[in-house]
Amino acid sequence: MVEILRVNGNENINHLMLLFFEMNDSEMLKTWVQSELNWPVDNTGDIEKAIHWTVEHPYGIVIVNGKSSDIRLSKWFRESKQRSNRTITIVLGIKQSEQWEQLIETSGAFSVVPNTSTHYSCLKSVLLRAQEHEQMLRTLMDNEKFVMLGQLLTGAAHELNNSLTGILGFTNMVLNEAEAESVRNDIFTIYHEAKRCQQIVQGLLTIGRDPHTEKLKVRLDQLVDSVLDVQQFNLSKNEITIIKNYGPQVPSAYVNYYQLQQVLINVIINAIHAIRSTGRPGELQVEIAETTDNVVIAFHDNGPGFPPDHAEKLFQPFYTTKSAGEGTGLGLAICRDIVNSHGGKIYATSRENEGAEFTIELPKISAATSEKVKVLSDELQIK
């Protein structure tokens, strides 16, 4: 019977299986591994159970008793290869035989370690190296996913850019012909949002090219208010009250208008989703302030919050707390990249069931810089 041990849910990364070891040897080895590395360890003498274990633990490590019969060893390596198993195999113990050497040479084993107490430190080194090897493979696989995603995004971005160019052209024509002020304001909002979409799409097309991105001097209250205006319907529909705390003198910052707008929209939409999940009306407090070196925009919602140890995970690519189909897990990762490119930082704090706060810090405009930057034209503001 296979004894299953689990530690902090990490069994897929550093879980061990001992194969073909006698009870006394396996207990000694298990005790040593758990004391030295604190890894969970299973034990079996049955190949089918071992194969089943590798399916459940695709990133696990199997330590095979190298002093078992050549028939058992040969069967293990043959079965694991036939099933295209990625689990790493380490052979512990060396037999002096030509057949054994030929078997190990063709087995694809990660490493062979002498089975003596004086070589346990060698085994520890091999185990850690095997873990690093597996993590490197997983990183490469993730990189391949990003490459494929980049290719898909580039194709989609080209198509979207063509459509948006047409929308902008026709919206501009209608804007010039409209007479009523209320109609012109609505059309201008459509034009402005389509322009923002085009900027986002063009950003996707220039990923990896390190393009020069124009930054302008922007009043933060005008930027935040423009995003809140766009999200007003969403906020009202979910019975969310906005509470503003801007202070007597609202600071400006040197930013790319459309990129920072994208960050604020992501943060506000996440707050809306969080509050909506409680099933009750909510509040979103927005604060703009200054510190000695930075200007700060903070959003505090009264949603369910999140466990404190998830604060960093929120900004990892593909990590999402939303239900399937509601989010890709890319929004906050992109937000962090944008804010970092502005020389700032974005972070989240929360205590579970007490809401969440997302804070964006950006560098202040120095006197020397303010002489060089261009002031944002009124046409970029939503009237």
Measured between alpha carbons, how far is 45 from 36 in angstroms, rounded to an integer? Answer: 24
pLDDT of residue 285: 95
> Does the structure show a pLDDT above 60 at 331?
yes
Determine the average pLDDT of the residues in 270-279: 90
Report in angstroms the alpha-carbon separations of 39 from 14, 25, 179, 217, 274.
Answer: 6, 17, 73, 54, 36
Predicted confidence (pLDDT) at residue 85 exceeds the cutoff of 90: no
Name the more confident of 7 and 163. 163
Residue 363 is predicted with a pLDDT of 92
Three-state DSSP class for 331? helix
- Reported as half-sphere exposure (CB side, CA atoms, 13 A), residue 232 has a value of 6
Question: Above 60 in pLDDT, residue 40?
Answer: yes
**Apex 369 CA angle, 366 and 375, nearest 5:** 110
- In single-letter form, the type of residue at position 179 comes to E
- What span, in angstroms and rounded, lies between the C-alpha atoms of 38 and 262? 44
Contacts of 164 (CB under 8 A, 6+ apart): 194, 197, 198, 201
Domain range summary for the chain, segments of one domain joined by + = 11-115, 143-211, 212-380
| Greater model confidence, 49 or 133 | 49
pLDDT digits (tens, 9 = 90+) for 194-212: 887 877 776 666 554 444 4
Exposure of 86 in the CB half-sphere (CA atoms within 13 A): 13
CATH number for the domain whose boundaries are 212-380 = 3.30.565.10
Supply the pLDDT for residue 243.
95
Check pLDDT > 60 for residue 4: no
Return contacts of 208-211, CB within 8 angstroms, 24+ apart: 208/150
The mean pLDDT of the chain is 77
Amino acid at the residue 234 = N
Compute the average pLDDT of residues 74-83.
Answer: 78
- Following DSSP, what letter does each residue of 195-209 receive, concatenated? HHHHHHHHHHHTTTS
Do residues 134 and 88 touch, judged by C-beta distance below 8 A? yes
Least confident of 29-33, 265-269, 308-312, 318-322: 318-322
Please, which pLDDT band fits residue 271 given cuts at 50, 70 and 90? Answer: very high
**112, β-bridge pairs:** 91
- What is the CATH architecture assignment of 11-115? 3-Layer(aba) Sandwich (3.40)
The Cα 140–Cα 146 span in angstroms is: 10
Contacts of 47 (CB under 8 A, 6+ apart): 19, 72, 75, 76, 79
